A and B are shown apart, each in its own frame.
Chain A
Amino acid sequence: MRQQEQRPPFKKLARELLAANYPWLSSATGLEFSVAFVKKASDAWELAGKALRAYSTERHGPTMVLAQVGMLADMWCHFAPSNS
């Protein structure tokens, strides 16, 4: 994985998008984007799984996941945290 030097301006784009489509919402000040480039899709899934696990461990107490998913459950269960 390599971090790109010139990252896409997601925050700026999100702000413009909100202003154009949802003018009653405040600006996207609370949005934080992180962008990385990987060479294989499996790397992206692995990193997404790590991010989910890290997110689940940030909070205390039991965690329940409700999933609405467009693919078979056994596919996404591979990367969803199973120790929650």
Chain B
Amino acid sequence: MLRLGCTASLGGARRSAESDLASRRARLTLRQRQRALENGGAAGSAVSDLPPLNLADLVTISNQANAVPGGYLSPNAAAFKRIFLYHSTAETGLEGRATTALFFLDGLNDLDPNEPPKLDENGLQIIPAARVAIWFTNPVCTCSASLEQLFKFFQGSVRVCGNRCKQTFLYLAIF
């Protein structure tokens, strides 16, 4: 991911490991560095490279696609997808009840803010297709009780009617 040009912040553990490695390498003489390079990747070497980054090593990821015209992340070169993850849990009175939902929005690659919106035969704006997967965590299975919460989110509001809820919103852009 980093090779493609995006930037990321390292998590605390990885940052510490990188710092320690740099410190160890700084103590080496030139000859020791050459020897370490020749033996590169030798298991157990205190100065060998760390394993490749995993997603769990990163805290935030950003890219400069919007700031650099013609960047590699343009709609011509990449397919932009959006995924919303919704999760809420009831804090009072309804122990264990929660709602988890994933909204997969497709067709956003064609959207260009400079272009007029696509219209159907009735002159209404066509919305992107979407798939929604919803899981109700509900030991007592009062099925309709969570609908208000979910649709408050769907309406773009963060206010929740009824029970107080802890809400978590994720925005995942996958391309």
Contact = CB atoms under 8 A, between A and B. Distances in A.
B144 interface: yes
A43 B139 CA distance: 12
A45 to B, nearest CB: 7
Interface string B129-144: 1111111111101011
A37 B135 contact: yes
B134 A36 contact: yes
Interface residues of A, number: 54
B61 interface: yes
Given A52-B83, A70-B169, A82-B54, A31 B134 contact: no
B135 A30 contact: no
B45 interface: no
B137 A44 contact: yes
Contacts of A25: 124-127
B169 to A, nearest CB: 6
Interface hub of B4, B59, B133, B137 (most chain A Cβ within 10 A)? B133
B79 to A, nearest CB: 7
Contacts of B170: 67-70, 76
B85 interface: yes
Contacts of B1: 62, 64
Interface of A: 4, 6, 8, 10, 13-14, 17-18, 21, 24-28, 30-41, 43-45, 47-48, 51-52, 55-56, 59, 62-71, 73-74, 76-77, 80-82, 84
